[in-house]
Amino acid sequence: MALSGLLLTGAKVDPGDTEKSGHYVYPINVTSEKWFDYTVLEKSEMLRIDDETLKRMSDEDLVYAIADYPYLVDYLAYGEDVVMFSKSCSAIEELLSRETCADSLNRYSKQIIEEYRDNPRADGRSVVVSYLLQDIAESVSANTRINPNLSRSNYVYTPNYTPVYVTHPSESHTTAYHQAADADAVSTYGVSLVQQGSCKYNHHSYAWYSTSGSNTCWMLDPSPYMTDGSYTLKYSGGTSSSLYTYGVCQNDRLYYANNTHSAIFTGYTGGGAPFASYSATSKWGTLGVFVHGVTNVPAGCNYSTVSIWHR
């Protein structure tokens, strides 16, 4: 996707502009002083718009609420799956339920992008917001309900030679696109980028198959690695527990509840500290590879139960 003349910028705008426009204003955003005082789940709850308000909002209001959604970058963390993203962004969930969804997304996304060209966002997110709005509009117009990047498929193999189904994405984004999106994820989540974003592989593939930046396999279900004896279960439970007695090691694999995420436990140093106090490394959808807290992951990643697997 071309840059279309958009530039990342720190240009200032009147902070009251959004309120004056009559569009929905979120109670907290990335520039809020207390943004990092709350967990991802706490912020996700604060950012949910109640049903009564959603029903009163016009299509235009909803599209602006999508553009202003602080976790908009999660669309990429969910592998550019609009339906998955809608589970965390209530504005797009409501818009998807309306027959006018595709037309409104196309119309008002273009309007917002034009506004950003003339008056860039104060938080410097003009490029990434414009990119994502256009991607979401194109995806909905095409009636896409799964990752649109997926194409041909085949298998990779566990260390014990069990086949694991993978696909090979054919789509790609520009370097500028990935740089803007990764930078937004860093500022939104307070994580550290270790490898630039790619449409070619996802979190499961990174954790279980290959950490190489040249990985081209998108893995939907890594369970064969855990069921054929290739890896041994060391712990399964909540993230408030101490791991001291479980024989957990650095670089063990983390598998989040309901197949929602996989990571490598790169930050484990031993001792009796709570599981959640350690860091991990993982790929986030078509975003980059990040070092992050075990529970500082996109809201759709279920860390109510995380299992740790050792090889």
d(CA 197, CA 139): 19
Every domain of the chain and the residues it spans: 17-141, 153-310
Model confidence, pTM: 0.80
- Over residues 15-67, the pLDDT tens digits come to 333 343 578 999 999 989 999 999 998 999 999 999 999 999 999 999 999 99
pLDDT of residue 21: 54
Query: Is there a contact between 160 and 180 (Cβ–Cβ < 8 Å)?
Result: no
Read off the pLDDT of each residue in 180-202 and give the average, rounded to a whole number.
95
CA neighbours closer than 13 Å in the CB half-sphere of residue 78? 24
Sign of CA dihedral 219, 220, 223, 228: negative
- Within 10 angstroms of residue 240's Cβ, the number of other Cβ atoms is 10
Which among 178, 125, 174 has a CA at the least distance from the CA of 286? 178
